[in-house]
Structure 1
Amino acid sequence: MVDGNDAFTTTRRGALKTGALGLGGLTGALALSGSGVAAAAEPPSMATVAALAGVGSGDYFLQLDPILGDSVDDEHRRWIDVMSFSWGASNASSVSGSGWSASKSTISGLSLMAETGSASPQLFLRTMNGKRLATGVLQGVTSGEARTKFLEIELRDVAVTSYQTSASEGGGSPTDSFSLAFAIIKYSIFLQSATGGVGETISATWNVRTSTGG
């Protein structure tokens, strides 16, 4: 349903590590057109950049209704605690003496890692029987007392396409690695204002079946 190379990777410990969270990845190439060519958004103001730089580290949670996870976070109870995730998009367009040569854009599946837990048997079962999930939501929130949502990925018509669990002697809890394919994705970044409040929201939506979005 989806393919391509991962272009966006983040981890619970590494997201926002540099403070800017890779601003090119947040504000550039977010608006995808019907031709598959990304239209870069306007860069944020320096005040917004400075505010975003103060966010610190983040925590990530995945909801795959009706699959229940083990999160005890007040805003994400029974979601899946996500250790890391990766997804991305690519376009093989090229330029020559006659101009641009358009090519079909592709989106990779959403790959995630989490500790083995309550959701694990259902993730395995969905991989085997191919039964779809209506929706999926991945959210990133800032760590600390004042928790603010800064990232959200919403999925429609979701399939668990792979599942693997692994562990090693003396290596701590076992971990799950699994991948999600989807028909529609909405990718949103929530910027902070210079005063620390909620600022601009930057979003892009893409329908994989129809290769349309905006």
Structure 2
Amino acid sequence: MKTRLTGSTRKAIQIVATAGIALGAVPAAADQIFLQIANLPGESLDKAHKDWIEVLSYSQGVSAGRCSQISIQKSVDRSTPGLMELAAFQKPVASATLAVVNSEYGVEYLKVAMTGVIVNDHAYSGCDGCGRPSDYMSLTPSSMTISYRRQNPSTG
């Protein structure tokens, strides 16, 4: 069965399609993720997170009665040698904080405060032409507090 479109319907579809293509090209602002580990500076230049470690991605879960490890990917920076040492010797770190910031408004809306943190493992990798090498690590805290700040769509 064929459906015929009238001239005005066809024109409306063209306008919507054109607007969608034009608007679809605008990327949404990406949030920023920062990690602060006691006595281990990173290279962030963000005013509110100066010298924190800039995180590319993270994942974390919890299960009954225990904190699951937090897996983190970041670019190689000045914290890399210290993280390798912490992983090699399994020396607990007093505290660490992971913060997620709304890039558009600069609002920190998710924070994971951890104590008694162990860097379980650490690895890094890179390739020719891929840009800066990446670090991969997992952290296990003995305790953590997760806080979330509700976002306002117009002010963050």
Provide TM-score, normalisation by structure 2. Answer: 0.77
Q: 1:70 aligns with which of 40, 43, 59?
A: 43
Determine helix, strand or coil for the equivalent of 1:150. Answer: strand
Matches of 2:133 and 2:153, distance apart in 1: 41
Compared with structure 1, are the counterparts of its residues 56 and 181 closer, same or farther at alpha carbon in structure 2 (3 Å cutoff)? same
Could you tell me which runs of 5 or more consecutive residues in structure 2 were left unpaired when the two chains were aligned. 1-27
Give the C-alpha shift of residue 165 in structure 1.
Answer: 0.3
Match of 1:162 in 2: 121
Q: 1:185 aligns with which of 134, 140, 144?
A: 144
CA deviation after TM superposition for structure 1 residue 56, in Å? 5.3
- SS class of match (2:137): strand
1:135 matches 2:108:
no
Matches within 5 A, 1:138-157: 138-144=98-104, 146-157=105-116
- From the superposition, tell whether residues 171 and 136 of structure 1 become closer, same or farther in structure 2 (CA, over 3 Å): same
Q: 1 CA distance for matches of 2:137 and 2:147?
A: 22
C-alpha RMSD over aligned residues: 1.8
| Larger helix proportion of the pair | 2
Aligned residues: 129
* Alpha-carbon distance in structure 2 between the residues aligned to 1:193 and 1:68: 31
Distance in 1 (CA, whole Å) between partners of 2:79 and 2:117 is 16
Which deviations, in whole Å up to 9, do the C-alpha atoms of 1:7-51 show, x marking residues without a partner?
A: xxxxxxxxxxxxxxxxxxxxxxxxxxxxxxxxxxxxxxxxxxxxx
Q: Residues 117 and 88 of structure 1: is their aligned pair in 2 closer, same or farther, counting only changes over 3 Å?
A: same
- 1:72-87 to structure 2, matched below 5 A, reads 72-87=45-60
User: Helix, strand or coil for the counterpart of 2:141?
Assistant: strand
Aligned-pair CA distance for 1:192: 2.4
Question: Residues 130 and 193 of structure 1: is their aligned pair in 2 closer, same or farther, counting only changes over 3 Å?
Answer: same
> Identity of paired residues, percent?
28
Please list every run of 5 or more consecutive structure 1 residues that lacks an aligned counterpart in the other structure: 1-54, 91-103, 198-214
- Report the CA distance between 1:167 and its aligned residue: 0.4
Q: Secondary structure at the match of 1:66?
A: coil
Q: Work out the CA distance in 1 between the residues paired with 2:113 and 2:135.
A: 21
